[in-house]
Structure 1
Amino acid sequence: MALHPDFPDSPHAILDPEVRWFPADEALRDTTMDKLMPPLVAQLRRNVKAFRDGGYVGASDTSKSLLTWWFKEPHLLPGKDAIIGSFEYYFAQREAMETIIYLHDVVGAKDKYDLMRFDSSGAVSAGMFDETWRRFVIKMATGSGKTKVMSLALAWSFYHRLYEPDSELARNFLVIAPNIIVLDRIYHDFQGLRIFFEDPVLPDNGYDGHNWRDDFQLTLHKQDEVNVTRATGNIFLTNIHRVYSGEEIMPSPEDENTMDYFLGKRPTGATTDSKVDLGMIVRDIDELMVLNDEAHHIHDSKLAWFQSIEDIHNRLLQKGGALSLQVDVTATPKHNNGAIFVQTVSDYPLVEAISQNVVKHPVLPDAPSRAKLSEKQSAKFTEKYADYLDLGVIEWRKAYDEHQKMGKKAILFVMTDDTRNCDEVAEYLENRYPDLAGGVLTIHTKNNGEISEAASGKKKEELELLRKQSNEIDSNGSPYKVIVSVLMLKEGWDVRNVTTIVGLRAYSAKSNILPEQTLGRGLRKMYPGNTEEYVSVVGTDAFMDFVESIQAEGVELERKAMGEGTKPKTPLIVEVDNENTHKDIDALDIEIPVLTPRVYREYKNLADLDAGRFTFQTVAYQEFSEEEQREIVFKDITTGEVTHTTVLDSAGIADYRSVIGYFAQTVMKELRLVSGYDVLYGKVKGFVGDGLFGKAVDLESPNTLRNLSELAATKTVIETFKQAINELTVRYKGDAEIRDTIKLRKTRPFVVKDQGYMIPKKSVFNRVIGDSHFELEFANFLENCPDVVSYAKNYLAVHFKLDYVNADGDISNYYPDFIVRVSDGRVVIVETKGQEDLDVPPKMERLRQWCDDVNRAQQEVVYDFIFVDDEGFEKYAPKSFSDVLTGFTKYKET
């Protein structure tokens, strides 16, 4: 049941259906895979792959535009003064949206009978579907971004209904959360439409001919705060219990059992009245889409939630409409008996999420560590389980110390069996461990993981405080380091900082809790990127047996030594080695001058672009048949991947504007230009119309549009403008001045991916991480050079970078590899290279200029540089750093 050997490490990589995980040996992939997965998923993955590879043929224009914008366009993250990075959706999020759109646009799926066409098991029947409306279930591991999928699905439905003449989708949305905690989280993302504008959900105005951002007019209504003033453009965000219709009284903070008030009632057949009658709201609107978060709570057609949504659907039917679509997102779409919802159309399982470092890796004690644990013969709960509590605290402390270096607070999670023992454990931890005094938060839960405060009868103010404390426990401002609960908080507490889980009992079947849900509260990552993170899981034999049952889902549980003297289960942290008494950090420190930039871009010059002076090879203008003229597909000029598709509109008229806009946006994004689109659009339009083909052409002609989709035309337009803009806007400053200095000993700690490293003696850092084997080899060489006083790998966290003009004429940043201080006092910047590229000469020339500028600006220290290639290093085997300085050139020509 291991992952396929070709399964990629990156969560952004496109996953081939043939390398996806399935619950059997790899040898059975060809014969049994389809029958062992969610019944619809295997065939849908293959169909969606063909849909993706074919450029989304069959999808509406609106859907194509959105899919292209979300998943194929580069999304840069602008900082205050420059571009600071880029954003890319996970493939799991992409596949979920592609599947929804494929089923709606291409298949035209309207009900269960359309979905049953994709059954690979042969066991799905119509009776397994309770609903009569269109419902898709998206299965995604905890922490893999379900809320982002909800935002994309919502935007797609809105625009599809707005822009597609015959659309049956909706511009009103009922967003359902299972409890108040989840509702608060969604509200934070949706408030002010934050997620839609902060993430690249909404295309730029003008993209493919629409004013997307101007047209996205929506009002968010939370719970009882509903004020419907228009028939479309509403998001109704509510708890699941507010959807029910009936005659019972709403939960109150004055109730004896205030759990219902705090978390939101989950009736088991009974119904609950609501201050907001959604039935009344639906009477005033003609279109609605339902989005369900944490949707594993909806599995029984007898429950009031189902009857209420069915009632909404029926009301819409009476008005000649229908519930347009219901999308459920959850990590565990399973019935009480463990059977998966047959409506599941997309699946990103936990085993894949762990492999791609989207979530933490669960770690269990190895056999020797576990053998040291025993349940004591005592009637006192904390005495009976003292070994487990002590090991949990030891593991938590080690993680706490490591994460504290990064400014993060590790959290310990302890689960007990009832409220009395929960209180006893909390008191035990506070009294026995001084560092936990005042740091234990107690949350009572019922047998199924729901909050229960019946015993204490807490009032509204106390419950609000508990809710606030629970939500803020990750922050350093919170005094709490431990949560003690009855069983496990089932959902909603999406804390990121849980590093250790201690379970002191087994789950019973009636709890309806799955091991994925138990681990789920500790799986969310603390750090961005693809670094490995871990959650240590300790507990009784019964609890561990329950946790280990997750291996049936393909999850490989790591087992490591735990207890005193063992390593912390944390990511690799690189930091200044201040605690090492064998190092003189002051003596090992190296100071690096920071100079003002040498190159910059003068954006105002875009207006001076003169197409008459462009240097390019004209493109032959071809004549295409009428059928060929409708195949307008644009491909990436380097990879050949389809990036943009323009189709003639319903009147058969080609719109060249979206193509010109595509060219202009591509140029701007590749050059990281933050303004000037209007100017550039006009320049591109003029060049295409009068110069590209060596003659004037009719931009309105479908034949011209078809010519523009040819790779030669696309490449010529984009590359010609990039070259011309670089020549026009890239400017050099005459001199540079020292504006600051970098001291290596001031570098803040940072986490890195688990990889090979070396423990240095001559560096301020505790580890040298090599991006290649040669870098580690070279670092080892520096350690043993008698004439090297100190050195350091130039990590990104050091912030030593040089601006330079790359081989394409664009402005880039260059991070040299090593900084070395030698015995004669010089500081030498070293660039190591295995595979050389075209950028080596301009980098080395820029490094030469930097050294000249620094040496001109100050005379205390001489700065020099050298280029060391692995082939020469192996061939000549230098014995000292002076050998390197005399035996290697300043740069090596290709």
Structure 2
Amino acid sequence: MLCGERTYQKEAIKAAIIYLASGEYSSINQLAKENYRNNIDLQDKYKSEKELLKSLQLPGKLSGVIDLATGTGKSYIMYGIAQMMLALNVVKRVLILCPSVTIEQELKKKFNELVKDSRLRSSIPTELIGCKAPRIIDASSTIKPGDICIENIHAVYDNTGSSIHDSFASGGEDTLVLNDEVHHAYNASSDKDIKKWKQFLCGDKNFRYILGFTGTAYINNEYFSDVIYRFSLRNAMDAGFVKLVEYVSRDESINQNEKFQKIYDNHKEFQRKYRKIKPLTIVVSKDIKSSENLSEDFIDFLCSVEGIEKDDACKKVLVVTSAVRHKKNIIALRTIDDADNYAEWIFSVSMLTEGWDVKNVFQIVPWEDRAFNSKLLIAQVLGRGLRIPNGIGAQPKVRVFNHASWSKNIQLLVDEILETELTLTSHILTQGERSKYNFNLYTLDYSKEERTVAKHNKTQEVFDLTKGIKLISDLEEEKKETEYEDIKGNLQIKVTNIQKETISVNEVVNKIVESFKGRALEAKLVFPSGEYEQEKLPSINDIQEFIRKSMQDCGIQGEYLTQENANKIYGKFTGLLRKKPSTPIFTKKVDNIIEIETKSMRNETARFSVLKKYMTLFLANTYRNEMDKEEAEMYENAKEEMIGRQIREVSKYNIKTPVNMVFTTLEPEKRFVQLLTDNDLSKHIDAWIKARDVGFYSIDYQKNKGSKFQSFNPDFFIKVKDNIIVVETKADNDISDENRAKYKAAKRHFELLNLELSKKNINQKYYFCFLSPADYKTFEQYVIDGRMFTSNFRSKLEDALEKMED
């Protein structure tokens, strides 16, 4: 009668009642010991029974947690347990604690509806002697037998209006305590009352029967050790009770303006799709200040994109935080699904996540990594968008617009929360036959120093501006892709027309002319109209013609420049005006040599959907000797679904690398690993390793002198006796300023490293190559016959990159 067809609700209530009322268990400790003896996974996770018991939050009590995905009717389960425990006469009264007034009000409303349902009351067996019609109260009244008291945790410590302490003056042994959103009690909090929540449960009231309820059963990344029933997010999605989740797996956004446009485009897509309701977007920031600043930027963006006044844009944006100044906005959340509530965009912080019983959220934007960097936060943030609005047809999706730049770091966390756990992991083998292919590398530790280069040139510099400046061939509007993946591995590519930030030619000219005022030229400027120096300044027409000529040369039409091109022009003229007696140059000096072991290289995990779409996998044909049973089963499950060319099982004698499997993404990488594992080359090398993208062997480079240092990790390290060949793979003709800078920095790094190794009598020498497939066969032959180590190997790509220097 209570749960209808939601079998999981019945199962949760049944599990709780048997645990609490059967007399089989004296406390959670007994249940934990029983599970430890029977569960190999628990024995793997906890070194001893004692360690498991130490992890329990409320030891010595009949305590436990029921983990239910948001939107699956948790309040029905809480009511069912409370009513049954009263009717069975196991307890005399029930205390329900929750973290906020909002949740308290929602629970009271639901419980009052249920307790008044005569059909529910009549379904309770007549022979039961306990209470069948409980009174629903809060802590402003004394809690008596037959009462269900619902109160927020703050009222427990309110000495003026709460009856909690008086009601339990003689103890709480006859009371069932239910804790909604119990992860608050288990996790660290800055709220003084929430900090005391667990202390209250374990304190002098002698509560025996205690259950917690949550959809986020995590302490940061650790799952609770006292869960007695779980209905997961994946279960709820598969059953169609909540929305499906999709999130960004690849994105081309590079700045805030582009992200705003993509988020806005998604929002408009949902408005078109669900015309009968008002779709909402939630943007989650790390703290109150960030949320406020971001909302202000977004209000300005709305004014621009929709052509509306600021007051109208402000009505569409609701900032919801724990700050006093936003208190009225929390009240406004209660009606935010309604059409007559103007708000469409909610800006919040990651800590404020429960009590929003809204159904119209179709997009969630975790703005910073910190808003989405633990299992707890991910589960909380996803929970805000799971409820399904009434009458919209097929099961909808909620779209999570996360940062693709850090999505690799959160994909595993998201997959675990959503239980899409078919992943393969590449890791170092430290035992077995192929562990012998581990080897040591060396790198240099640098310290950055700034030095100034004085200009001793006494003659006046002359700048020829008759030919314009090299601008970037750019469009004011550009199509940008974002790839989304849902929990079933389905990929969807969405294209958004991105309007770039532009500025008119006249504005650029006026800004330059303004900068000339009161300044004398340090150099002679040569324009088509003549020469200018000192107090004689070029005219507006001269500057305008210079810009027009530059635009014409690279095919830019119209009256507007992108902000990037405008900045290039500003930089040109600013440089002419600035005095340059000396120029700061950032360089690096060698401090000492560092040894790196391949054994220390971190694991790399790839999800099946990404493997299937983008990757090729190389591993030994004896892989079963190198994997445990579970790893082998996961690999074989993935193999069945992948096409033949994506799996390369290589003879163990040819794959001389210490990892259990090698992931390759781009075609040059794949073809190079094929080269390393073929019969001809493999017999001439001792060992090799494909480095991780970050964190293994990093080389710093600068695109331009004085610019910020960036870093890259070369792709491959190949050991041939005491020689180490370092290879960065690229596509044919992939010449760019960035590749030129990487090539130059790496060449310099390995020259210095060889010099330092020689000084310290370390027998290892490094040879660096920028390689593309056009030179793979030449490279192979040079390694086989030894010319790699006796001559200066130079690839076509290296030649092209060095010509860029000329």
Q: TM-score, normalised by structure 2?
A: 0.46
User: Higher strand proportion, which one?
Assistant: 2
Q: TM-score, normalised by structure 1?
A: 0.42
